[in-house]
Amino acid sequence: MDLDALLDCVTTSSCLVTQSTSGLIVGMLLFMVAAGLTLIFGVLKIVNFAHGTFYMLGAYLAYTVFTATGSYTLGVLAAGAGMAVFGVVFERGLISRVYGANVLMQLLICYAVVLICDDLVKIIWGADFYAMGMPPAFQVPPLFIAGGVVPPFYLLLIVVALVIGGGLGLSLGVTKLGKIVRAAAHNPDMVSALGINTTLLYSLVFAMGGALAGFAGGLAAPVRSLTPGMGFSILIESFIVTVIGGMGSIGGALIAAVVLGLIRSFGTIGFPLFTEGLMYIAMIIILVSKPSGLFGKEIV
Amino acid sequence: MGRILRDVAIAVAVVLLLALLPSVMPSKAFQDFVIRCSSMALFATSLNLLVGYTGLSSFGHGLFFGLGTYAFALLMQKTGMALPSAFVLTLIISTVTAIVVGAICIRLRLIYFAFVTLAMQMLVHSVIISWVGLTGGDQGLQGGIPRRVLFGISLESQYNLYVFAAVVLAVGLLLMRHIVNTSFGTSLRMIRDNETRAAFLGIVVWRVKLTVFVLSAIFASLGGIVMSLFVSGAYPELINWPITGDAIFAIVLGGVGSFLGPLAGTMILLLLNDVVTRQTEYYGLALGIIILAFALGLRRGLLDFITERLGGRPAGGIS
C-alpha cells in the first residue's frame, strides 16, 4: 500500500489527468464488452461466458485487416461485423440448444468455445504477444492537458465508445425494435404470441452483443497487447461491471465501467497488488446489499 | 445399515486393491494419477453436494480447496506442528471461514449466488497474491512440507502418500455418501426441487443451506490438503478461478445426478489431460471439442446417461 503516492497523484493535475484518461479508456472498453453481456442477459437470460472471446477475436481480426489493408477504420469495422456474424453462428449453432437448461450447461458450452478459440488463435496467429501500435493517423505527439499526457487516440476511443453506447441506449429507448427487445426481456412468450419472430430477435441480440465486443476488441488493439488469453481477464471484469451496474442495465454498465476503470488506474498507484481485490470487495458489497445491482430492476 | 456396510465393504476392497496393485504394476505415473485424482475427486464431489443435491451453483468453491492447501502448507512450514494437528486445524479453519462466507452468500439465489461465491474466491486469491510476506505472492509457498509423518508412517515415500490419498478419498466419499442418504440429504433434494414447499413443510432453509455449504467446504479443503502434500506447498493457481472451473467440468462430465459422477468426471478430465497433452500442445482445442460432444450429444453426464440407459433414475440432478 502506498497511500502517499496516491495522495500525491490526486493532488497534482498532471498525474490526475494522465491517470483519469487511462482509467477512462479501460472503462470504455469494459463498458462496450459489458453492454453486450448485459444486453444478452437481459433478453435471453443467458450468461455468455464466451463474451471475452468475442473481444479477443475482434482484436485479432482488426489487427489482421489493418496489417493487410493499412486502414484502421476498415479493421475496426471488420472486427465489429465479423463478431456480429460469429455471435449469430454461436447462438444458432450452440447456445440455442441449451435455452432453459441449467446455467452450468451454458457455462460448459461457453467454456468449450473459449478453449477452442484460444487454441485456434494460437494456431493461426501464434502464442506470442502482438503489439499493433498506433494507426498512422494517430502517430502524432500527445496532447498536454493541464500538464497530463493524453494521446489523441485515447480521446477517439472514448468518443467512439460513448457514441456507440449512446446509440445503443437510444435505439433501445425510442425505436420500435428497441421496444420489442425490451418487451422480449420482460415477457418473451407474450412477444412471441403477438406474432414477433423471437428466434430472429434472439439472433439479433447476439449479433449486437457480438458487434459491441468486436468493436471493443478493434479499439483495444492499438493500446493493448494481443495474446490468446486476453479474453479471460476482460470477461471477469465485465462480469463485475454488469453485476455492479445491474444485470440488464446499459446505463448501469456505463457508470460501473467508468468507476471500475478509475479504480483500476488509481489503484495501481495506491495499492498495486490489491487493485483486483478492491473490485471484488465492491462486487460483494453490491451483491449482498442490492443483488439486482445499482441500476437493475428488482429480481422477481 | 445394510447399505452402509455394503458401501464400507466396497471402499475397503478398492483401497486394498489399490494398496496391493504396485507390487504387480509398479508405475509411478499411476500412483501420481491416483493422488491427483483423490484430491480433485474429493473437491468435485464436495461441490456436487451443493450443485447436484441442493441446487446451489457455486462458482467459488475453489476458495476452500485453495484454503486447504494454503492453511495446511503454512501450518506445516511456519509452525512446529505435527501433521495430524495441522490436518485437523486446517479443517477447523475451513469450517470457520465457510460459516462466515456461507452466511453472506446463501442469502443470494441462482446466478447471483454463483457470482458472489466467485467474487469471494477471487478476493481471497487477491489477498494471497498481495500478501507476499506470508504466502510468497504469485510465486506460491515453496520450500516443501516438512515433518511428513503420520502415526509413524512417513509420507515422504510416494507409495505411502498414494495409499494415504486413497484412504482419505475413500473415507471422504463414504462420509459424503452417508450425508446424502440421511434425512438431511432428503432436505437438500427437497430444497433443490422446490424451496418454497420445503419451507412450508417446516425445513429451515437457510440453516440447511448453510450446513451443507460448510460441510462441502470441509471436504473441499480435505482435497486441498492432499494436493498440498502432492505438490509440496501451495500455489496461487490452486485457488484461482479455473480450479473451480475444473471441478464444475468434472461434475458435469461425470454426471451431477449420480453420487460417483464427480469421481468419474475427475478421472475423465485427468486422463484427457494426461493423454492429450502428450499428443498435442493444443489441449484446449481437444478438450473443448470433447466437452461440446458431451454437452450437446449426451446432454448429461456420463454416469447419469448410463443410469438412464439402464432404466434407472438418477438420484440428484439439475433441471
pLDDT digits (tens, 9 = 90+) for A21-31: 888 888 999 99
Write out pLDDT tens, residues A30-48: 999 998 888 888 888 888 8
The minimal CB distance from A103 to the residues B111, B241, B284 is found for B111
In which band, very low, low, confident or very high, does the pLDDT at A145 lie, cut at 50, 70 and 90? confident
Indicate whether B12 belongs to any domain.
Answer: no
Indicate whether B22 belongs to any domain.
Answer: no
Q: Residue A271: CB partners within 8 Å, gap ≥ 6?
A: A1, A2, A277, A278, B130
Indicate whether B170 belongs to any domain.
Answer: yes
pLDDT over 70 at B315, yes or no: no
Mean pLDDT of B60-68: 94
A247, closest residue in chain B (CA to CA): B112
In which band, very low, low, confident or very high, does the pLDDT at A1 lie, cut at 50, 70 and 90? low
What pLDDT shows up at residue A298? 45
Indicate whether B67 belongs to any domain.
Answer: yes
Pairing of strands B153-154, B149-150: antiparallel
Indicate whether B317 belongs to any domain.
Answer: no
What pLDDT shows up at residue B172? 95
Tell me which chain B residues have a C-beta less than 8 angstroms from the C-beta of A274: 126-127, 130
For chain B, how many structural domains are there in total?
Answer: 1
Indicate whether B277 belongs to any domain.
Answer: no
In which band, very low, low, confident or very high, does the pLDDT at B3 lie, cut at 50, 70 and 90? confident
Query: ipTM for the complex?
Result: 0.79
Tell me which chain A residues have a C-beta less than 8 angstroms from the C-beta of B296: 94, 97, 109
What pLDDT shows up at residue B313? 60
CB B58 within 8 A of CB A107: no
Indicate whether B142 belongs to any domain.
Answer: yes
In which band, very low, low, confident or very high, does the pLDDT at A61 lie, cut at 50, 70 and 90? very high
What pLDDT shows up at residue A97? 82
B288–A115: do the CB atoms touch at under 8 Å?
Answer: yes
Higher pLDDT, A300 or A139: A139
Tell me which chain B residues have a C-beta less than 8 angstroms from the C-beta of A111: 245, 249, 288, 291
Mean pLDDT of A265-291: 82
B296–A94: do the CB atoms touch at under 8 Å?
Answer: yes
In which band, very low, low, confident or very high, does the pLDDT at B314 lie, cut at 50, 70 and 90? low
What pLDDT shows up at residue B319? 39
A103–B284: do the CB atoms touch at under 8 Å?
Answer: no
What pLDDT shows up at residue B318? 47
Mean pLDDT of B164-173: 94
Indicate whether B20 belongs to any domain.
Answer: no
What pLDDT shows up at residue B70? 94
Highest-scoring range by mean pLDDT, B61-70, B145-154, B187-196, B264-273: B61-70
CB A217 within 8 A of CB A79: yes
Write out pLDDT tens, residues A227-252: 887 888 888 888 888 888 887 788 88
Residues B307, B261: Cα–Cα separation, whole Å: 11
Residues B166, A195: Cα–Cα separation, whole Å: 60
What pLDDT shows up at residue A299? 40
Mutate to test the interface with A, among B111, B134, B237, B268 (most CBs of A within 10 A): B111
Q: Percentage of chain B surpassing pLDDT 70?
A: 97
Mean pLDDT of B243-253: 87
Q: Percentage of chain A surpassing pLDDT 90?
A: 13
Give me the CATH topology for the region A3-289. Answer: ABC transporter involved in vitamin B12 uptake, BtuC (1.10.3470)
Mutate to test the interface with A, among B123, B125, B131, B240 (most CBs of A within 10 A): B123
pLDDT over 50 at A300, yes or no: no
The minimal CB distance from A107 to the residues B119, B248, B319 is found for B248
What pLDDT shows up at residue A168? 83
What pLDDT shows up at residue A297? 61
pLDDT over 60 at B118, yes or no: yes
A277–B57: do the CB atoms touch at under 8 Å?
Answer: no
Q: Residue B61: CB partners within 8 Å, gap ≥ 6?
A: B43, B46, B47, B50, B117, B121, B216, B217, B220, B244, B247
Domain limits of chain A? 3-289
